[in-house]
Amino acid sequence: MRRVVITGRGTINALGRDVPSTLAAMRAGRSAIGPLEMRDLDRLTIRIGAQVRDHDEAAIFDRSELALYDRATQFTILSAREAMAEAGLEIASARAERAGVILGTSGGGLTTQDANFRAVYEAGKNRVHPFVVPRLMANAAASHLSMLHNLKGPAFTVSTACASSNHAIAQAVQIIRAGMADVMLTGGAEAMLCFGGVKAWEGLRVMSTDTCRPFCATRSGMVQGEGAGVFVLEDREHALARGATILGEIAGIAMNADAADIVAPSRVGAARAMAGALRDAGLDPRDIGYINAHGTGTTANDRTECAAIREVLGSAADDVAVSSTKSMHGHCIGATGAIELLACLMALTEGVIAPTANWCAADPECDLDVVPNVAREVPVTACLSNAFAFGGMNAVLALVAP
């Protein structure tokens, strides 16, 4: 079977505008959660988030680009540019049909929808910009990456709420394994921190009003973030032939459905997904040094996920480091798996495990090594990245060091 490696990574999120600044923040255990800045904040009860600040879109993109690029698309384009630069890759015309892009998003161009609903319903306008549809459509970011990077192979967007990025990455792995492409850009983006996006989450009553404290006895819920993460995946032989630096290998993937509840997580489904990724990668529980948890900071997720980890890893669960970087970059919904993959690669390439920030008290029902507050230097040769979405749709990635 063809093996799939990562040769480039890019991001923009509340922790930083690129990979080095994001990893520096993760190493420092710095949380980017803070007061939200947005219109009509006084009508929200949830007023915190991990927002990408000082994003001056007009300084980065020209007028015609901005007419087409929703905030989520902008994040994607910036991340892809960084990832392609690290990979040292330009797709020549002769190879274009062997390169593609699969991205994940939950809300797509939600900021564009929010702004235009305001225009027609609140402001009473009877006219919207001609490009509202191509700006808000969920596949817009993938389309723009195909155009910007000459990707003429398989290209599409998947949407599975909080597992969107992991599903997208798993699909990209499958495409390369199947021989349908040699290079895939993949990851995801989310820009849901607009009034309507926060208001919708507020309704669920699972959001924290102070901060995100995963696995902590005093946890008070999840905190939304935003951003993007994009990776260059390559057939290993393709990467070796061109002398690329390999950052890690995606050795295993697993996707499944709880088929149980639209919002409540399932220990059984989560455990099946983790076990499936281990099996697909040919790894033993003892091989896993780090798990980047879904770790939303809700009572339901954290306890269910810890029980699932114990079920799958058995006695090895006592020795594995488990952290939730959502405590720092927030829950970036459809982008979150991509941003969290950066923490996995940091563990594999630098031997640094990003901590669970904001943690203050042990929860007996989350009795794992949750790497509280301080990053840890320890060699890691294999890790898991969990994503368990609303709708009971799970996707877990298993990575190994190059």
Partner 1 sequence: MAADLRAQVHTILAEQAMIDADDVTDDQAPADLGIDSMGVVEAIFAIEEAFDIQVPFNANAPGAQGFDISSVGAIVAAVERLVAEQHD
Is residue 205 part of the contact set for partner 1 (CB under 8 A)?
A: yes
The Cα-based distances of 180 to 152, 171, 172, 190 in angstroms read 11, 11, 10, 27
Which one of 9-17, 33-41, 117-125, 202-210 is the stretch in contact with partner 1 (CB under 8 A)?
A: 202-210
DSSP-assigned states of every residue in 258-323: --S-SSS--HHHHHHHHHHHHHHHT--GGG--EEE----S-HHHHHHHHHHHHHHHGGGGGT-EEE
Q: Quick one: 145 exposed, middle or buried, by C-beta within 10 A (0-12, 13-18, 19+)?
A: buried
- Residue 236's φ and ψ, nearest 5 degrees, are -55, -40
Which one of 59-67, 112-120, 218-226, 369-377 is the stretch in contact with partner 1 (CB under 8 A)?
A: 218-226
Is residue 203 part of the contact set for partner 1 (CB under 8 A)?
A: yes
Please, are residues 49 and 212 in contact by the beta-carbon 8 Å criterion? no
Among 44, 68, 206, 246, binds partner 1 (CB under 8 A): 206
Catalytic residue among 149, 167, 238, 294: 294
How far apart are the C-alpha atoms of 351 and 345, rounded to whole Å? Answer: 9
Is residue 303 part of the contact set for partner 1 (CB under 8 A)?
A: no
Is residue 208 part of the contact set for partner 1 (CB under 8 A)?
A: yes
Look up 329 and say whether it is catalytic. Answer: no
Which one of 136-144, 167-175, 205-213, 280-288 is the stretch in contact with partner 1 (CB under 8 A)?
A: 205-213
Query: Of all helices (H) and strands (E), which one includes residue 157?
Result: strand 155-158
Q: Is 245 helix (H, G, I), strand (E, B) or coil?
A: coil
Is residue 329 part of the contact set for partner 1 (CB under 8 A)?
A: no
Look up 144 and say whether it is catalytic. Answer: no
Least CB distance to partner 1 at residue 44 (A): 12
Look up 55 and say whether it is catalytic. Answer: no
How far apart are the C-alpha atoms of 359 and 273, rounded to whole Å? Answer: 26
The whole-angstrom distance between residue 62's C-alpha and the CA centroid of its chain comes to 27
Interface residues for partner 1 in 221-240 (CB under 8 A)?
221
Catalytic residue among 331, 332, 344, 366: 331
Nearest in space to 339 (alpha carbons), one of 326, 321, 352: 326
Among 95, 144, 219, 326, binds partner 1 (CB under 8 A): 219
Least CB distance to partner 1 at residue 101 (A): 36
Is residue 374 part of the contact set for partner 1 (CB under 8 A)?
A: no
DSSP state at residue 132: H
Which one of 56-64, 99-107, 294-302, 371-379 is the stretch in contact with partner 1 (CB under 8 A)?
A: 294-302
Residues touching partner 1: how many (CB under 8 A)?
17
Catalytic residue among 144, 149, 162, 212: 162
CA atoms in the 13 A half-sphere facing the CB of 42:
0
Is residue 220 part of the contact set for partner 1 (CB under 8 A)?
A: yes
CB atoms within 10 A of CB 201: 22
Among 298, 336, 356, 385, binds partner 1 (CB under 8 A): 298
Interface residues for partner 1 in 261-290 (CB under 8 A)?
263-264
Which one of 106-114, 190-198, 298-306, 370-378 is the stretch in contact with partner 1 (CB under 8 A)?
A: 298-306
Least CB distance to partner 1 at residue 202 (A): 11
Among 299, 349, 373, 381, binds partner 1 (CB under 8 A): 299
Please give the single-letter amino acid code of residue 380: V
How far apart are the C-alpha atoms of 35 and 275, rounded to whole Å? Answer: 39
Q: Quick one: 180 exposed, middle or buried, by C-beta within 10 A (0-12, 13-18, 19+)?
A: middle
Which one of 27-35, 106-114, 190-198, 293-301 is the stretch in contact with partner 1 (CB under 8 A)?
A: 293-301
Among residues 156 and 390, whose Cβ is nearest to partner 1? Answer: 390
Please, are residues 386 and 338 in contact by the beta-carbon 8 Å criterion? no
Among residues 220 and 373, whose Cβ is nearest to partner 1? Answer: 220
Is residue 200 part of the contact set for partner 1 (CB under 8 A)?
A: no
Which residues lie near partner 1 (CB under 8 A)?
45, 203-209, 219-221, 263-264, 297-300
User: Annotated catalytic sites, by residue?
Assistant: 162, 294, 331
